[in-house]
Amino acid sequence: MRIEHHLVPENPIEDTSHQNSVELRLVFPCTQSNVRLALASVMAGLGAMNLSEDDNSSIEIVLAEVLNNVTEHAYHDEGVGMIELQLKQTQSGLSCRVIDTGDAMPRNVPPAGNPPNPDCPLEHQPEGGFGWFLIRHLTRDLAYMRQKDRNILSFRIEVGQSISRN
């Protein structure tokens, strides 16, 4: 696993004393155990953002769902293929981009992620389909692009901006 962790000025021209932003880039082979390792690295790396426990859990949930989807659906759980994860702290939250070279999404559209229905009788209660609901619920500006052989999914997670406030 290759991990690059930078603390870089968001805009070097302006006064950067209170505008340091976190940037992370991870590239790793897509296996379920690597997804676990990647999430641990990301959450450690984002520690510099001093986020609330609630914000941290939103980020971990969204990234887990996205990376699991790539591993399971784009790469069919075969453990062959790379995932690139790019994260950047911005004024409006955490800007995220996930790139892989697996299969395209069906009809080149990310799933709608319909809300689950708890009123459904238990024996018919689905045991899946929650992932895209959680992703869409916890992100903004979600966009998917198929570019040649690459899937590029980008989104933003709104989080407290404690660094820029301090």
- Phi then psi for residue 25, to 5 deg, are -140, 125
Handedness of CA 117, 119, 121, 122 (dihedral sign): positive
Q: Which of residues 16-75 bind other proteins (CB under 8 A)?
A: 32-33, 35-36, 53-54, 56-58, 60-61, 64-65, 68, 71-72
Handedness of CA 24, 48, 52, 88 (dihedral sign): negative
Q: Is 14 in the site for other proteins (CB under 8 A)?
A: no
Residue 159 beta carbon to other proteins: minimum distance, rounded to whole angstroms:
14
Going residue by residue from 100 to 139, which x/- string records binding to other proteins, judged by CB under 8 A?
A: ---------------xx-x---xx-xxxx-xx-xx--xx-
If the CB atoms of residues 16 and 125 are measured against other proteins, the closer one turns out to be: 125
Rounded to an integer, what distance in angstroms lies between the CA atom of residue 114 and that of residue 103?
22
Q: Where are the alpha helices (DSSP H) in 84-161?
A: 131-138
- Phi then psi for residue 98, to 5 deg, are -125, 125
Beta pairing partners, 96: 87, 155
Q: Is 76 in the site for other proteins (CB under 8 A)?
A: no
Interface residues with other proteins (CB under 8 A)?
A: 32-33, 35-36, 53-54, 56-58, 60-61, 64-65, 68, 71-72, 115-116, 118, 122-123, 125-128, 130-131, 133-134, 137-138
